[in-house]
């Protein structure tokens, strides 16, 4: 199965003059059509299920599909998966950069997060680790993505700025990594700068594109959440960025069951088609004065699929609070959970057998899945009461 069905955008659509970066059978940047990506939600070690999902996503029109690898067993499974698909694959290295050596022979792109490089071999400078990744990528004919995320920025960068400024450390981190990769002669890379707030996604990508208009950008609103809200948030960011020539590949990150992952591709294709046809709103703003629920996309890092049902239950339970400016974050794993719930008023991150509950950066405890909703409602009611008393 080859990733097919790319949409050729209207030639009148403005595009930044980014350099071309080859990813397997496709090329992003350099005026090529904007590529659409997704990520497997199956467990990587389930070879049959993962290969089937990759091929289903490819059939739906995915140009690139991402797979998470967190262990030697995952890497071994990836080798088998590669034999069952011809789709362009990118691997998410998560927190162990040395896994690149095991997985690079089987993929077309390596994705690393600058904020995760410090987790292993902390005594080594990040430049040495990135040099290792670039050498592995070059040896195996792989592109790379420098994936900067609002919830896991390099602490050394975050400490330089006001705690309320999440954008500047992201940009500095991305620019530093680009400059270093350029200095060692590796230019086959793209960058992503993601946040769950579409307005921040717009700002951070605009600012980066002003500094480095040559670098291809992967666009996405991380933890966009459940459809249709997640699609709306993503559309807001994509319409404003792509209409200005910013963006070379996209992903719509939705919290959906495994069997419905193709919704990410369908939504991305529809947004691109609308932008190319001029079906966009000239001024699009996401309503930040109402309840905002963010949740990470279903992916192979999720340790309990009950997370997806929980996200849906949180959305239903909290409808009564829709006119209050409160953000609830529902995260599905230990990678995104601890850090990326800090900025929410109420945060839940899901472990295999329990759910961790936070209020801002304060940890409130771990609760069984069967008990988390009543406790969440209690905290939500207290927040609403606090807001009402403050406005009276």
More confident residue, 318 or 286: 318
Which residue, of 247, 276, 305, is where some domain finishes? 276
Inter-residue contact 26 to 88 (CB < 8 Å): yes
**Same domain for 267 and 158:** yes
Does any domain span residue 284? no
pLDDT value, residue 274: 85
Task: Report residue 64: phi and psi, to 5°.
Answer: -140, 140
Q: E strands along the chain, which residues?
A: 21-23, 26-28, 35-39, 64-68, 88-92, 109-112, 143-149, 189-194, 217-219, 249-251, 292-295, 327-331, 346-350, 355-359, 362-367
| pTM for this entry | 0.79
Inter-residue contact 258 to 300 (CB < 8 Å): no
Task: Report residue 355: phi and psi, to 5°.
Answer: -120, 125
Of the listed ranges 54-68, 204-218, 303-317, the least confidently predicted one is 303-317
Does any domain span residue 12? no
Rounded distance between C-alpha atoms, residue 75 and residue 88, angstroms: 16
User: For residue range 147-180, what is the model confidence (pLDDT) as tens digits?
Assistant: 999 888 888 888 899 988 999 999 999 999 999 9
Does any domain span residue 86? yes
Residues 6+ positions from 47 with CB-CB distance below 8 Å = 77, 80, 81, 84
pLDDT value, residue 340: 65
**Same domain for 268 and 310:** no
Q: How confident is the model at residue 2 (pLDDT cuts 50, 70, 90)?
A: very low
Query: What is the number of other CB atoms lying within 10 angstroms of the CB of residue 52?
Result: 17
More confident residue, 377 or 12: 377
pLDDT value, residue 5: 43
**Same domain for 376 and 258:** no
Cα radius of gyration rounded to whole Å, the chain: 20
Q: Is the dihedral of CA 251, 200, 324, 373 positive or negative?
A: positive
User: For residue range 34-48, what is the model confidence (pLDDT) as tens digits?
Assistant: 999 999 999 999 999
pLDDT value, residue 342: 74
**Same domain for 170 and 93:** yes
Inter-residue contact 244 to 213 (CB < 8 Å): no
**Same domain for 48 and 166:** yes
**Same domain for 44 and 186:** yes
Asked whether residue 134 carries a pLDDT value surpassing 60, the answer given is: yes
Which residue, of 276, 303, 334, is where some domain finishes? 276
More confident residue, 295 or 99: 99
pLDDT value, residue 344: 84
Which residue, of 229, 245, 276, is where some domain finishes? 276
Asked whether residue 218 carries a pLDDT value surpassing 60, the answer given is: yes
**Same domain for 346 and 301:** yes
Q: How confident is the model at residue 142 (pLDDT cuts 50, 70, 90)?
A: very high
Q: How confident is the model at residue 7 (pLDDT cuts 50, 70, 90)?
A: very low
Of the listed ranges 6-15, 179-188, 273-282, 292-301, the least confidently predicted one is 6-15
Does any domain span residue 256? yes
Q: Average pLDDT for residues 235-261, to the nearest whole number?
A: 93
Residue-number span of the structural domain to which 97 is assigned = 21-276
Asked whether residue 300 carries a pLDDT value surpassing 80, the answer given is: no
Residue from 301, 281, 252 nearest 35 by CA: 252
Number of domains into which the chain is organized: 2
CATH number (domain holding residue 322): 3.30.413.10
């Amino acid at each position: 199965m080859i990733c097919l069905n790319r949409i050729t955008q209207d030639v009148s659509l403005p595009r930044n003059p980014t350099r071309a970066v080859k990813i397997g059978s496709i090329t992003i940047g350099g005026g090529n059509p904007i590529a659409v990506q997704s990520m497997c939600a199956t467990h990587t070690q389930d070879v049959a299920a993962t290969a089937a999902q990759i091929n289903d996503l490819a059939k739906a029109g995915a140009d690139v599909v991402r797979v998470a690898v967190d262990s030697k067993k995952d890497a071994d499974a990836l080798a088998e998966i590669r034999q069952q698909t011809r789709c362009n694959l990118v691997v998410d290295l998560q927190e162990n950069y040395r896994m690149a050596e095991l997985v690079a022979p089987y993929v077309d792109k390596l994705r690393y997060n600058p904020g995760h490089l410090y987790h292993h071999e902390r005594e080594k400078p990040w430049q040495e680790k990135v040099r290792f990744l670039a050498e592995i990528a070059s040896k195996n004919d792989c592109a790379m993505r420098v994936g900067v995320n609002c919830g896991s920025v390099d602490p050394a960068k975050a400490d330089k700025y006001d705690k309320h400024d999440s954008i500047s450390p992201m940009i500095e981190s991305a620019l530093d990594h680009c400059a270093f990769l350029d200095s060692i002669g590796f230019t086959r890379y793209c960058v992503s700068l993601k946040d769950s707030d579409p307005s921040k996604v717009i700002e951070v990508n605009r600012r980066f594109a002003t500094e480095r208009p040559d670098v291809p950008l992967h666009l996405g609103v991380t933890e966009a959440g459940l459809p249709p809200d997640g699609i709306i948030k993503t559309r807001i960011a994509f319409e404003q960025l792509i209409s200005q020539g910013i963006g070379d590949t996209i992903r719509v990150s939705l919290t959906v069951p495994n069997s419905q992952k193709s919704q990410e591709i369908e939504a991305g294709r529809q947004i691109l088609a609308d932008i190319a046809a001029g079906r966009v709103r000239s001024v699009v703003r996401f309503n930040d004065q109402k309840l905002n629920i963010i949740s990470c996309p279903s992916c192979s890092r999720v340790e309990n699929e009950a997370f997806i049902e929980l996200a849906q239950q949180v959305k239903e339970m909290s409808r009564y609070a829709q006119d209050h400016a409160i953000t609830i974050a529902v995260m599905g794993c230990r990678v995104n959970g601890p850090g990326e719930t800090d900025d929410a008023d109420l945060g839940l991150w899901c472990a295999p057998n329990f759910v961790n509950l936070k209020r801002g950066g304060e940890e409130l405890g771990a609760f069984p899945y069967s008990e988390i909703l009543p406790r969440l409602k209690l905290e939500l009611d207290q927040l609403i009461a606090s807001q009402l008393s403050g406005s009276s």
